[in-house]
Amino acid sequence: MKGKKLMAMLMAGSLLLAGLTGCGGATAKGGDAAAGAADYPNGPVTIICPWGVGGGADVISRKISEVAKDYFDQPIVVENHTGASGTIGMMDAMDADADGYTMVLTNGPLFSLTPKYIDVSYDLSDFTMLRGMRQVSLMIFTNPQKSGMKTFDDLINYGKTHKITYATSSGPGGDQYVVSSAMFKSLGIEAEPVVMGSEAESINAVVSGQVDCGLGTPPAYYSHQEEGTIQAVATFYPETVQTPYGEVKSIKDWGVDVEFAGMDCLAVRSDVPQEIVDKLNAMLDDVYADSKFTGFMDEMGYPLWDAKGDEVTQFIEDQMDSMDKYVELIQ
Amino acid sequence: MKVKLNSNMITGVLFLIVSVALHILIPSQIRTYETSTVTAATVPTLLIRGMILCSVIMLVQGILSKEKTEYTISGAIFTRENLLRLKPVIYIAMLIAYALLLPHIGFIISSLLLSNGILLYFGTRKWWFYAIASANVIVAYFAFQAMSVTLP
Amino acid sequence: MLNNLMTGLALMASVESFIAIFIGLLAGIIIGAIPGLTADIAIILCLPITYSMEPIPAMLLLLGLYCGGTYGGSITAILINTPGTPSSAATVLDGYPLTQQGKPLKALTMALYASFFGGLFSALALLFAAPSIAHFTQMFGPPEYFCIAVFGLSIIASISNGNIIKGLLGGLIGIFIALMGQDSVSGTLRFTFGVRRLGGGIPLIVTLVGLFAIAELLSRADYNPRTDATRKQHLKLDHEKLSWEEIKRCLKTMTISSLIGTIVGAIPGTGGGIAAFISYDQAKKTSKYRDNFGHGEIEGVSATESANNATTGSTLIPLTTLGVPGDGCTAILLGAFMLQGMVPGPSMFKEHSDILYGIMIGLVVINILMLIIGRVFTPLYANITRIPYELMSAIIIVYCITGVYSSEASTFQVLLAVIIGAFSFLLRRLGFSVVPIILGVVLGDLVETNFRNSMVMSSNSLSIFVTRPFSLLFLALAALSIGMFFYKAAKDRKSKKQS
């Protein structure tokens, strides 16, 4: 009996070994990877979202995949590869084959800021930008009901005599932290961030009066502004921003030389054949022209940023210069 | 040579080594840019010190305890019974081999090998067990395919 | 109010809604029961299907998955000592011993009733008391969250089976696992050892599969089908049903646990797992049968299962009133709401009140249907224990792996789960209970992040934890929990000496 069992165990081991040697060379990947640009697309296309499900950029890319059903022969699937400030998703996109079956959702700081803090194996030249998605104006907001601060001047005056605590959704190495630290530093105000897990939690921390002020982007805080528990007092965007609740002035108007315009965009690896890039761009043209997509963006309050690839690349290059400056300032 | 051991002593020594090693690694594994008093290294440092403390207490508990098993370290340790106790190691090795092979030979082949390997490991001789286990792999593959998860 | 309820009911009562609920529940229960697949993954996988659906059926499908998944996790926890989801980790404490005693049917039935009870309680709380509960939990900031987490950790004392140091060490190991990867406050990478994938941390599901499922498979690796005693007797399945008396004596526990679950669920950043542990601890301390806890006490099952399902409705409370998701699942539901053109937040009750009431009434219906579906299937899956172990082992491992893989579409996670499994197997051999470890994993991030944020708020003064009423309350509860453990231990020692 025992001999037989031992035999079986040996067989299990040798089978595994056979798997190791015999099948080691074969790849189980589908044939679509090898196919050329001519019959592209002949398999599902993935969008890697480097952030979690339910965030703004994730929701928009899912909407794109939904609308694209009418224009693209193959399904577009959003996969969330999260972690390490989004660099895991970016590096996964680099690891994928340059066959145009993998797009990646990205933003400026993933090139201009995060690589300063986390070792990454990519840079801007590794990606071809396809299209801008939305532009984001980062706002500073207070809670007039709890703190009595209604304007940016109120906040500055308060900061002259008190240490300010503010809610952000990113710590050192994150865009919100860097630009806000640079701002407080150039205003000569002592401020410490309370880092929340998400923007919704930052807003909630301000609404419930746990912190003096907070950072966030439209439209997430709109419904609180309607309640009067949130007041956007200034923005990092270089120009005055129009919101449904009046205009919000740029911090540049207070003489602060810090600016930040957030955006999300779609990209592919730069060694993807031009033919395929053109096909993807044609698909995006159709989606961006569809009222189902633009209507959704309007309804959600996301400002659509219909920038072509070169414009997006230029935008990121500009941001890289200013981020260098801010990081130096706060160190 | 004879040694008296119990699980608390083994645990204590094992975790003392691990936690001291982790403590030494803190500066190289946590490079923080923060300037505040409480940084990314604060809680892990406290945590690892807690682990060191627990390990020491456990070691002392183990030494003081009277419940010990006597082990004789000699050539006789490699008896058939002792070797059979190491049987789970084969199982672990199969799983690790599987996890390493998965990206290279794909889900279907590697899972078929693993499922049938497990049945072989238990010494099953009912052929239909192998059939069920193999069919299960295929079912899982297509079920996930249907939910647009492409397994490797 | 009545008006809202009527319009909601009218909107909800459609054939599509019932089909969506039915499919959602059925899929949810199956997915929840499979170790490696959780409600989170189910919702992510089904999200694309809902794009083209009407808002109410779409959300009800996802909520069906959520509720079904939370209940389904208990099935494998009871039958094979492997929780299907993190919420059911505490259910193994008493559920599995019941199976070992040949009473899986009883445990499964109790789990179903308790899940129904908790789920319904929570759904009604969402329907009638959402604004006031939200108002209450909004008073909680980082110091309160920290103290709740400390209270959660204090439970280690009562679940570490005798050796408290081993339990404590387990808890510390758990927290350490949770802290690996990127620090959520500063963005610093910690203990990644140069492995890029570890930068994302170890996902909870990977830890769960490793600690429980794979370790359980390994610990039975010396099982021999020919000499296994239970096999020879054909494992006498006790068809003893759950008696009305037993339900009645668990009613108090279920009510208190549901209340705990509802409140814990409404606190952002927590979830079903924590609620289940707190309720279990509470039930153990107050029950007449407290000495039987951990040895197959039906009341233990009723406490954990009613508490974790009681979070299903209440996690939606901060989502619908403040726009803040109550746990990981509701963070995904937030995205689903937005894709349906609704922005969760204070204005949601005003702008989409009819749809929202439809969804909330749907949640009540989901829980009732869950009871019915469960009643039909419970006797069926009680038979899972009859499957020969070697075959079960070969089948389960496949799902553990696919589940772990699909959470991040990465084979690295599979390797990680195997490594954690081997490590957990070693710990079991050394006499550790893995339950304190999973408790540490679940609470680790909550403890650290909120400790650091509290320190920022108070300029590094620890006094912040005792000057705020609710944080003081939770600290006092933690102290009480630990104090009772030592008191009981001392009493036991005394009585042992006398005898």
Query: For A46-73, how does the pLDDT look when each residue is reduced to its tens digit (9 = 90+)?
Result: 999 998 888 889 999 999 999 999 999 8
Question: How many angstroms separate the CA atoms of C376 and C281, rounded?
Answer: 31
Q: Which of A265-279, B30-44, C43-57 has the lowest mean pLDDT?
A: B30-44
Segment A5-34, tens digit of pLDDT: 444 444 444 444 433 333 333 333 334 444
Mean pLDDT for the stretch of residues A79-87? 86
- What is the count of structural domains for chain C? 1
* Contact of C2 with C46, CB cutoff 8 Å: no
Mean pLDDT for the stretch of residues A199-208? 89
Is the Cβ pair C452, B42 closer than 8 Å? yes
Ordered structural domains, chain A, with CATH: 41-136+262-330 (3.40.190.150), 139-254 (3.40.190.10)
From A195's Cα to the closest Cα of chain B, the distance in A is 12
Residue B75, pLDDT score: 62
Is the Cβ pair A16, B104 closer than 8 Å? no
Q: Domain residue spans in chain B?
A: 2-78, 87-146
Is the Cβ pair C331, A62 closer than 8 Å? no
Give B5 or C267, the one with higher predicted confidence. C267
A142 - beta bridge partners? A213, A231
Give C407 or C22, the one with higher predicted confidence. C22
Chain A contact for B110 (CB, 8 A cutoff): yes
Give B87 or C211, the one with higher predicted confidence. C211
Segment C308-335, tens digit of pLDDT: 999 999 999 998 888 888 888 888 898 8
Across the B:C interface, residue pairs with CB atoms under 8 Å apart total 184
The answer on pLDDT for A179 being more than 60 is yes
Residue A2, pLDDT score: 41
Give C140 or C305, the one with higher predicted confidence. C305
* Contact of A285 with A263, CB cutoff 8 Å: no
Is the Cβ pair C221, B32 closer than 8 Å? no
Is the Cβ pair C199, A65 closer than 8 Å? no
Residue A3, pLDDT score: 42
Judging contacts by C-beta atoms under 8 Å, the chain C residues touching residue A172 are 186-188
Segment A2-11, tens digit of pLDDT: 444 444 444 4
Angle between helix axes B87-105 and A2-22 (nearest 10 degrees) is 20
Best CA proximity match to C38, nearest among C158, C205, C166: C205
The answer on pLDDT for A1 being more than 70 is no
Residue C227, pLDDT score: 65
Mean pLDDT for the stretch of residues A198-222? 89
* Contact of B51 with C172, CB cutoff 8 Å: yes
Chain A contact for B102 (CB, 8 A cutoff): no
The sign of the CA dihedral C424, C426, C427, C433 is positive
Residue C238, pLDDT score: 60
Chain B contact for A34 (CB, 8 A cutoff): no
Mean pLDDT for the stretch of residues A143-167? 92
Judging contacts by C-beta atoms under 8 Å, the chain C residues touching residue B14 are 430
Mean pLDDT for the stretch of residues A73-91? 89
Per-chain mean pLDDT for chain C: 88
Residue A47, pLDDT score: 94
Task: Write the ipTM.
Answer: 0.91
By residue range, what is the domain housing residue C421? 2-490
Segment C361-377, tens digit of pLDDT: 999 999 999 999 999 99
Q: Collapse the DSSP code of B148 into the 3-class scheme (helix H, G, I; strand E, B; otherwise coil) and give the result.
A: coil
Residue C132, pLDDT score: 87
pLDDT above 70 covers what percent of chain C? 96
The answer on pLDDT for C283 being more than 50 is yes
Best CA proximity match to A40, nearest among A65, A71, A68, A72: A72
Residue C236, pLDDT score: 57
Low-confidence stretches of chain B (pLDDT < 70) are: 1-2, 72-84
pTM above 0.95, yes or no: no
Residue A71, pLDDT score: 92
Is the Cβ pair A16, B107 closer than 8 Å? no
CB neighbour class for A13 (10 Å; exposed up to 12, middle 13-18, buried from 19): middle
Mean pLDDT for the stretch of residues C219-247? 68
Nearest by CB to residue C199, choosing from A59, A83, A196, is A83
Mean pLDDT for the stretch of residues C206-230? 80
Question: How many angstroms separate the CA atoms of A62 and A69, rounded?
Answer: 11
